[in-house]
Structure formats: structure tokens, C-alpha cells
């Protein structure tokens, strides 16, 4: 018996929408990365992009647990000497919440051309609306018991 390898024309891509309101950033990002990679499908292959499209709405209402918003820092380098700039996650969530969500999800994908193909299937919006209604996205339910912090 031979190992099954999915062909590009056999891959069925669905659309999912995630409402990020009140969800913890890292836990939501890991579930979205799993769907973008296609690990939820029986036809998953690590060398082929078998994942679905994901739309994340309400990115401005995502939550960071503990003091991570002030303590975690985002770095960006221009490529020139002395071109390193840093910003706290609190500032990034306030100014560009879509970028904070996109960075978190991108860090959980492969670091090669396959990962770059997967991140193109991610659409992130700060507000509750998105322009992808024609694709008929299905709501992706993220387990709130795993995606929310425990009450202390």
C-alpha cells in the first residue's frame, strides 16, 4: 500500500470566520494557524498547502493575559545600520491591531515559501465587518475553555 499524497487540484479550500472579541491572542492564533496549515483535515500533508482561508474580525478586541501587553516588545529592522525599532504590544494593539494578530499567527507557520503561501490565506480586520461575504464563510468555533485565561 502506498502513502497518499494530495494533489493540488484535489484540495478543497473552505472559508472560516473567527470573531476574536475577548479571545486570548496566542491561543486564538494557534487555532487559526492549525486551520491555515490544514492540520484539521484528513488529507493533511506537511509538504503541501492543504489549509483553508481564515477571516479574523474584531482584532482590536483581542486580549493579552498578565502583563504581556506592556512587557512584550515587537522588533522591526529596516536593514540599515542602526535601523532597529521596537514597540510594546500595548502600542501595537492600539495603533495596528491587525498587524499584532497577523504577526502572532505568522510566527506559528513554517518559515519558508510554504508558510508564505499559507499567510496569504489569512485576512484580518479590526472591526466586525469584512468584504468576503460572497465566499460564504462558516464560523470557526474556538474552544473558549482553552482560549480564555483561567479565573484566579
Condensed to tens digits (0 to 9), the pLDDT of residues 75-87 reads 999 999 999 999 9
Query: d(Cα 97, Cα 99) in Å, to the nearest integer?
Result: 5
List CB contacts of 139: < 8 A, sequence separation 6 or more: 16, 17, 18, 19
State the pLDDT confidence band at 143, using cuts at 50, 70 and 90.
Answer: confident
Query: d(Cα 87, Cα 63) in Å, to the nearest integer?
Result: 17
Say what the pLDDT of residue 62 is.
Answer: 95
pTM score: 0.90
Q: How many residues are recorded in the chain?
A: 152
Say what the pLDDT of residue 109 is.
Answer: 97
**Dihedral, CA of residue 29, residue 14, residue 16 and residue 118, to nearest 10:** 30
Beta bridge partners of 24: 63
Distances in Å between the Cα of 60 and the Cα atoms of 16, 47, 49, 93, 95 are 19, 33, 28, 7, 9
State the pLDDT confidence band at 4, using cuts at 50, 70 and 90.
Answer: confident
CATH level 3 topology of 12-64+93-147:
Ribosomal Protein L13p; Chain: A; (3.90.1180)
Amino acid at each position: 500500500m502506498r502513502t497518499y499524497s494530495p494533489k493540488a487540484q484535489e484540495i478543497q479550500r473552505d472559508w472560516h470566520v473567527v470573531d476574536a472579541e475577548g479571545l486570548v491572542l496566542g491561543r486564538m492564533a494557534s487555532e487559526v494557524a492549525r486551520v491555515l496549515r490544514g492540520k484539521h483535515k484528513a488529507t493533511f500533508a506537511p509538504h503541501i498547502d492543504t489549509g483553508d482561508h481564515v477571516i479574523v474580525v474584531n482584532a482590536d478586541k483581542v486580549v493579552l493575559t498578565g502583563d504581556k501587553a506592556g512587557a512584550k516588545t515587537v522588533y522591526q529592522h529596516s536593514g540599515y545600520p542602526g535601523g532597529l525599532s521596537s514597540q510594546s504590544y500595548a502600542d501595537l494593539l492600539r495603533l495596528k491591531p491587525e498587524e499584532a494578530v497577523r504577526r502572532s499567527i505568522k510566527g506559528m507557520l513554517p518559515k519558508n515559501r510554504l508558510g508564505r503561501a499559507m499567510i496569504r490565506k489569512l485576512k484580518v480586520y479590526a472591526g466586525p465587518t469584512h468584504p468576503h461575504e460572497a465566499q460564504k464563510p462558516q464560523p470557526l468555533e474556538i474552544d473558549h475553555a482553552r482560549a480564555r485565561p483561567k479565573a484566579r
